[in-house]
């Protein structure tokens, strides 16, 4: 069993399964709000660009980002039959916990996202090796809960599906 900690979720790797548990960031939000008047303008602008102007909605989005990532992955996995994602097997506690099949982590420092050949500009979330795994000699994206990653998947989907179909038939 291995445990991986990300910014918004904890992933428990056990046997052939990956269990993703959303971690609420209420304490982190409280500290951020306390320090907000003292941070740089760039830091505030980054928060605004990602979560919106400081309001109840932006605070909710910030503190529940792991939950939203789980729900986004589950929704995308159910909505699209996408050969390049590792589908979500099951959703628990309304999205606080999800499970996927576990693959081998990619450690190649020269890794290039397979989506790169379909779209020249990808979000940073889509290009990192830790977003992917290998299972049965095929590369799958395993972390696609960020909305920018889903946008990359949706925009490249027609070309990827067409390529996969033409290779198989």
Tens digit of pLDDT for each residue in 128-166?
888 889 899 888 999 999 888 888 888 888 877 765 444
In which order are the strands placed within the sheet that holds 132-135? 104-105, 132-135, 138-141
CA dist 25 and 8 (Å) reads: 8
In b/e form, how buried is each residue of 130-153, taking b as 16+ CB within 10 angstroms?
A: ebbbeeeeebbbbbbbbeebbebb
pLDDT of residue 110: 80
pLDDT of residue 152: 87
pLDDT of residue 163: 54
Tens digit of pLDDT for each residue in 123-137?
888 888 888 898 998
pLDDT surpassing 60 at residue 94? yes
Domains in the chain: boundaries: 2-23+65-168, 26-63
Q: What is the percentage of the chain residues whose pLDDT exceeds 90?
A: 31
Q: Report pTM.
A: 0.82
């Amino acid at each position: 069993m291995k445990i991986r900690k990300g910014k918004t979720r904890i992933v428990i790797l056990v046997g052939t399964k990956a269990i993703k548990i959303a971690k609420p960031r209420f304490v982190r939000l409280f500290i951020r709000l306390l320090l907000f008047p003292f941070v740089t303008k760039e830091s505030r602008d980054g928060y605004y660009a990602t979560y919106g102007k400081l309001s109840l909605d932006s605070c909710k989005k910030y503190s529940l980002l792991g939950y939203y990532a789980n729900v986004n992955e589950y929704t995308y996995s159910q909505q699209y039959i996408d050969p390049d994602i590792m589908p979500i097997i099951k959703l628990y506690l309304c999205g606080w916990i999800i499970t996927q099949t576990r693959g081998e982590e990619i450690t190649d420092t020269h890794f290039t996202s397979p989506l790169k050949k379909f779209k020249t500009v990808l979000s940073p979330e889509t290009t990192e090796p830790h977003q992917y795994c290998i299972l049965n000699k095929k590369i799958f994206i395993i972390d696609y809960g960020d909305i920018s990653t889903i946008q990359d998947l949706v925009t490249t989907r027609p070309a990827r599906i067409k390529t996969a179909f033409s290779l198989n038939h």
